[in-house]
Amino acid sequence: MAEPEGVDFDAFYAASYRRVVGQLFLTTGSISEAEDCVQEAYARAWQRWSRVRRHPAPEAWVRTVAYRLSVSSWRKAVNRLSAHRRHADDTQVPGLTPDHLALVAALRRIPAEQRSAIVLHHLVGWSVQEIAAQTGTAEGTVKARLSRGRKALSVHLSDRADELAVGEPARTTAVPASGFPARRTTAKEL
């Protein structure tokens, strides 16, 4: 089907896209939100191109639609947040403690398979059998990953972690006030 008089959609899009995104970005403050809304507005313009082409200002039409989409998106986000707050538990969630942050940092330093096994077993509370079934690995493999993961974590989690940042080698056993080394905990006891 031949295009009647006026500009074809591809030329219109190429000539105006960056300008409309820039204007909506200044309005919304989010480049990703602006790009999403402008893309949707152009998709709607393309679907109605026979009418939009005859509009006195097709770019203004696209800009208006994009702006309305961004307002609609913002309203939906606000409504979701309000609904979440209305139906949320009043129980307090504890904040991030230094121990929690240290654990997360240490978990990031060990291999993904070991990290997954540690998290599923010790933090989620799954048994070795449940982890094996969920991950499709043998129980022995899960046990090995747990053992190796605990050993790898012990290097990163010590009583002297603040000194490790300075570059001192890690000690995996703490020395109590008595001056005698504490009994070393085995991986099975963890």
Residue 122: pLDDT over 50: yes
Report d(CA 73, CA 109) in Å as an integer: 38
Report d(CA 147, CA 166) in Å as an integer: 28
5 or 134: which leads in pLDDT: 134
Task: State residue 92's pLDDT score.
Answer: 64
Secondary-structure breakdown of the chain: helix, strand, coil percentages, each rounded to the nearest 5: 65, 0, 35
Other beta carbons within 10 angstroms of residue 175's beta carbon come to: 12
- In 3D, which of 122, 111, 186 has the Cα closest to residue 145? 111
Report d(CA 147, CA 180) in Å as an integer: 27
Single-letter residue type at 129: Q
Q: Please answer whether residues 109 and 157 qualify as being in contact, where contact means their C-beta atoms are separated by less than 8 angstroms.
A: no
| 98-189 fold | Arc Repressor Mutant, subunit A (1.10.10)
Q: Where are the domains of the chain?
A: 9-84, 98-189
pLDDT band at 6 (very low <50, low <70, confident <90, very high): low
Q: Tokens 């077993």 label which residue? A: 121
Q: Which two tokens stand for residue 43?
A: 């998709």
The mean pLDDT of the chain is 80
Task: State residue 89's pLDDT score.
Answer: 67
Residue 139: pLDDT over 90: yes
pTM of this structure: 0.43
